[in-house]
Structure 1
Amino acid sequence: MSNIQRKTDVILIGAGVMSATLGALLKELAPEWEIKVFEKLANAGEESSNEWNNAGTGHAALCELNYTSEKADGSIDISKAININEQFQISRQFWAYLVNHNLIRNPQDFIMPLPHMSFVQGESDVTFLKKRFEALSHNPLFEGIEFSDDPEKLKEWMPLIMEGRTSNEPIAATKIDSGTDVNFGALTRMLFDHLQTKNVEINYKHSVENIKRTSDGSWELKVHDIDNGKIEYHTAKFVFIGCGGGSLPLLQKTGIPESKHIGGFPVSGLFMVCNNPEVIEQHHAKVYGKAKVGAPPMSVPHLDTRYIDNKKTLLFGPFAGFSPKFLKTGSNFDLLGSVKPNNVVTMLAAGVKEMALTKYLIQQVLLSNEKRMEELREFIPNAQSGDWEIVMAGQRVQVIKDTDTGGRGTLQFGTEVVSDADGTIAALLGASPGASTAVHVMLEVLEKCFPQHMIEWELKIKEMVPSYGMSLVESPEHFQEIHTSTAQTLGLCEKELVY
């Protein structure tokens, strides 16, 4: 065992899409800064960013019904949908910038055009979907959205879902062709390949064991080199903790006041994957349903065409499960270890408030394969058990915190950044929409942690993200121009690609 001490400007913990995005932004804004990355696993994008560990949806609120809620007066609130859509447009612009400047190549290896649809059954949900369609159709961000409750039209849109459907229950769907399938694992690996050409030091199989502030205000990381057993000490002026479910325990080790009274609840996921090429070829869309009454937002069922390694496949899910691990490669003691004196009341309050979630997770864990097939058959009536197999997806840690609106122990379903008062350290917590909004979230990190540089960086940021600081929904001409140009650069103009 030997100790090594090194200094640097920026340290990124975790080699996922968030660290990759922040690193890529910083290398454009401050190319002279020295950046180091520490990743516990052997490669980039192996946990939450991996293509098999997330839905691969370019979340733009085109089909996700949980982003549009029904108000007490029956009208539809689309404000969250607009917000999510604008954030995804920011990601598209940055990716297009990277492609246009030959910093990454072959965008078809990580993003594909794919229709996004919402599908509902039952009179009340059909009424809701129609009202949602009417609310969105007048908004420039959702131009081209279509609605139908005509079975013949629905057969054209989603033949696999309509084949063999015998129920007289009302059904309806919306469809918009500007949706995308995104391979965030491939994108993450591309970004880290790019960062290596910019002299970013990427250390795989290096586990960060502890973080503490030094006397000069920097941060010292205790890092374990897994291969040779050495302990290294690295200091940096700025640290970003972007290691998915592993972020909360490291944030707690910093001891910053902002890390107090925050807990995490791990939820694991399963997908059913189709192994029959004939079935796969009958479906070409991401089709999102509506979560059942009492089920959490992360349980929204969806039938997804996916492109992984340029091969078309078909997934259905997610089915929730429970594991005390915060990462797939984590420890069974992760949940217990995250309970601290400062958050135990918050965690207990969440346990009392979230009995419905606990009940739901227990039911999901106990589901048999046949019960899962029954849920699949609500989407594909003729689904055959032999055509589908179960794949374990990623672990997500839902944030628990005390809020003004929800009170103690409120479960959060979004993505949020926690940073200290002087902006020297930041951590990303939460799950969906996550990777889709990575560029927006990392720009938020820059604003919070580098306010002294934002004026000098603004022109470059606007070169990378032309809509930065602008509301696209209030500037439809700019939106149309940006959406068209990014579609051309990213190869999203064709509605369907055949393999």
Structure 2
Amino acid sequence: MTSRETAPRQRPSDAVDVVLVGGGIMSATLGTLIQQLEPTWSIRIIERLDDVALESSNPWNNAGTGHAALCELNYTSEKPDGTVDISKAVQINEQFETSRELWQHLLATGQLADQSFIQRTPHMTFVRGAENVEFLRRRHATMTAHPLFRDMEFSTDRAEIARWTPLLTEGRDADEPVAATRSVAGTDVDFGNLTRQLVDNLVRHGAELQRQHEVTSLKRTKDRRWRLKVKDRSWNAPRRTSTVTARFVFVGAGGGALPLLQSAGIPEIKGFGGFPISGEFLRTDNPEIVARHHAKVYGKADVGAPPMSVPHLDTRVVDGKSYLMFGPYAGFSPKYLKKGKYLGLITSLRAHNITSMLGAGLKNIDLTQYLLGQLAAAPESKFHSLQQFMPTAHPKDWEKITAGQRVQVIKRDADGKGVLQFGTEVVAAADGSIAGLLGASPGASTAVSAMVDVLDRCFPEEFPSWRQQLAAMMPSLDGVPADAREIDTTASAADEPAAGLPEPVDGVLPASVYESRADSRF
């Protein structure tokens, strides 16, 4: 029995220092940071489902990439003059580095049980067509000029690409121009596994976890605390509703964050809306196929497609078993959570965000057309998308799975209308007493940086005294510029096998592959 399973039932009325709404990677990360910095503060995690990490943090509900901008083209935009802007890629890579630093600290101090949540998995970008090949060549040249990406490989040689992963080239038209980049320092991250380990550690050190409890509303009290109304969803609940008060509340409820922040009535949430997008993946566990593809391979998005719909053929390791996953295929559901209410979108509409929602819709006609096309696409057409990556794919080897819900942030722009924002956004009250996270990709991979931002914005008096301890756990927070970091170059591409999974070092993750600072390694 784990420590999570022994968490006490909530009392009818209670007061704590910190309430974390939602048991996903964001709440688990913020709770971990707070517990490290202020171990005497009382923390309560309130999760509406049967266990933590069952929504967006579940490994089958997200891409699990460990977003480091090594392969995702949407982080490297092409300017009108043909040059490639990599500033977003640098930012994402540095943020993921911060996440790895915290994880390594927690492993080194025995607060994470093991490294089973992260696997060495090369990240690749694969494109077809002469124009895309030329773009990828320019992107590679620009990125490898930066120290963070200098080990990235580029090739138009089919034999070389086949050595990296043969499923991309077998059965492909020999006259079709193709190109690929590869970064052997990529990862596959099971954020469900990581979240459970983080929450177990929180509970071991005094935090409380209430599963099957749902926060239905938040109200300010006269003493400037927050009173949360909580519904017990368990079938044998002795009391259906109760309250808890807190000095600080973080709403890390994924798509459910928007309505809860609206319930709190903070002015900072005005103008914000959310557009839910669902998705599907194809998955195979055929060992003959899985053993011949060891990489996360991202392609180029269709016109109008949101970043979360960039096609990718990924190695996934979940509970020690390897799979391949392809997708996502975009869909639509009005629910804000996979296991949420169908009226989520409707009930989030307010007088202050209708203009934002309509404005974003008018500005993103191509996205609407893309979603309609995806909804109307026949199964044969969807499978053809996989065959563009893997020409030898056969339907008998693949099954369809439903991914998690993603809610794209809609906010007011400079002209007072709405804009669809691809990314994540922290929304915090001016007094720092409540904050929440909206948005999707890159999401979990940059959770640590996002939660450090929450600490900075919500605890301005305490944060200066925390900086030294935070920097000890995450050296990248000390302000060392990216180009001054030492990047390990000992992982030679020639050492990588053409197919199959590499043997891990000391259990799971070879240290030399991930070393980007002397103080941060796996």
TM-score, structure 1 length as denominator? Answer: 0.95
Q: 2:453 aligns with which of 444, 449, 452?
A: 444
Cα separation, partners in 2 of 1:356 and 1:285, compared to 1, 3 Å: same
Residue matched to 1:360 = 370
| 1:492 and 2:510 matched | yes
| 1:73 and 2:81 matched | yes
1:298-337 Cα shifts (integer Å, max 9, x gaps): 2210000010111111000000000000001111100000
Matches within 5 A, 1:117-266: 117-227=124-234, 228=237, 229-266=239-276
Does structure 2 retain, via aligned residues, the 8 Å contact 1:113–1:493?
no
Query: Secondary structure of the residue that 1:43 maps to in structure 2?
Result: coil
Which whole-Å CA distance do the structure 2 matches of 1:430 and 1:490 have between them?
Answer: 31
Query: Secondary structure of the residue that 1:278 maps to in structure 2?
Result: helix
Deviation at 1:488, TM superposition (A): 8.6
Does structure 1 retain, via aligned residues, the 8 Å contact 2:304–2:369?
no
Q: Please identify, of 14-23 and 356-365, the stretch whose mean Cα deviation from structure 2 is larger.
A: 356-365
Which whole-Å CA distance do the structure 2 matches of 1:383 and 1:494 have between them?
Answer: 34
Residue matched to 2:383 = 373
Q: 1:27 aligns with which of 9, 12, 35?
A: 35
Does structure 2 retain, via aligned residues, the 8 Å contact 1:16–1:45?
yes
**Which segments of 5 or more consecutive residues in structure 2 lack a partner in the other structure?**
1-9, 492-504, 515-522
Aligned residues: 488
1:51-106 Cα shifts (integer Å, max 9, x gaps): 11001101000000110011111111010000000000000000000000000121
Which whole-Å CA distance do the structure 1 matches of 2:197 and 2:288 have between them?
Answer: 32
Deviation at 1:3, TM superposition (A): 9.3
TM-score, structure 2 length as denominator? Answer: 0.91
Cα separation, partners in 2 of 1:226 and 1:294, compared to 1, 3 Å: closer
Residue matched to 2:55 = 47
Query: Secondary structure of the residue that 1:468 maps to in structure 2?
Result: helix
Does structure 2 retain, via aligned residues, the 8 Å contact 1:99–1:489?
no
Which whole-Å CA distance do the structure 2 matches of 1:358 and 1:71 have between them?
Answer: 25
Q: 1:429 aligns with which of 427, 435, 438?
A: 438
Does structure 2 retain, via aligned residues, the 8 Å contact 1:18–1:442?
yes
Which whole-Å CA distance do the structure 2 matches of 1:295 and 1:397 have between them?
Answer: 14
Cα separation, partners in 2 of 1:199 and 1:96, compared to 1, 3 Å: same
**Which segments of 5 or more consecutive residues in structure 1 lack a partner in the other structure?**
none
Residue type matched to 2:288 in 1? E
1:415-434 Cα shifts (integer Å, max 9, x gaps): 11000101000000000000
Identity percentage of aligned residues: 51
Residue matched to 2:518 = none
Query: Secondary structure of the residue that 2:39 maps to in structure 1?
Result: coil
Which whole-Å CA distance do the structure 2 matches of 1:491 and 1:151 have between them?
Answer: 29
Q: Please identify, of 40-49 and 295-304, the stretch whose mean Cα deviation from structure 2 is larger.
A: 295-304
Which whole-Å CA distance do the structure 2 matches of 1:5 and 1:380 have between them?
Answer: 57
Moved over 4 A (4+): 487-490
Residue matched to 2:412 = 402
Query: Secondary structure of the residue that 2:405 maps to in structure 1?
Result: strand
Does structure 1 retain, via aligned residues, the 8 Å contact 2:303–2:366?
no
Residue matched to 2:350 = 340
| 1:286 and 2:296 matched | yes
Which whole-Å CA distance do the structure 2 matches of 1:493 and 1:116 have between them?
Answer: 17
| 1:99 and 2:110 matched | no
Deviation at 1:474, TM superposition (A): 3.3
Deviation at 1:492, TM superposition (A): 3.3
Which whole-Å CA distance do the structure 1 matches of 2:101 and 2:125 have between them?
Answer: 26
| 1:453 and 2:459 matched | no
Residue matched to 2:421 = 412
Does structure 2 retain, via aligned residues, the 8 Å contact 1:114–1:495?
no
Query: Secondary structure of the residue that 1:7 maps to in structure 2?
Result: strand
| 1:267 and 2:274 matched | no
RMSD: 1.9
Query: Secondary structure of the residue that 1:330 maps to in structure 2?
Result: coil
Residue type matched to 2:281 in 1? F
Residue type matched to 2:61 in 1? N
Deviation at 1:480, TM superposition (A): 5.2
Which whole-Å CA distance do the structure 1 matches of 2:287 and 2:248 have between them?
Answer: 49
Deviation at 1:295, TM superposition (A): 2.1
1:332-367 Cα shifts (integer Å, max 9, x gaps): 100000001111111111222222111111111122
Query: Secondary structure of the residue that 1:451 maps to in structure 2?
Result: coil
Cα separation, partners in 2 of 1:451 and 1:489, compared to 1, 3 Å: farther
Which whole-Å CA distance do the structure 2 matches of 1:234 and 1:397 have between them?
Answer: 28
Deviation at 1:284, TM superposition (A): 0.5
Query: Secondary structure of the residue that 1:436 maps to in structure 2?
Result: helix
| 1:330 and 2:340 matched | yes
Query: Secondary structure of the residue that 1:136 maps to in structure 2?
Result: helix
Does structure 2 retain, via aligned residues, the 8 Å contact 1:96–1:490?
no
| 1:63 and 2:71 matched | yes
Residue type matched to 1:243 in 2? A
Residue matched to 1:312 = 322
Does structure 2 retain, via aligned residues, the 8 Å contact 1:65–1:289?
yes
Does structure 1 retain, via aligned residues, the 8 Å contact 2:146–2:483?
no
Cα separation, partners in 2 of 1:36 and 1:126, compared to 1, 3 Å: same
Q: 1:473 aligns with which of 482, 485, 496?
A: 482
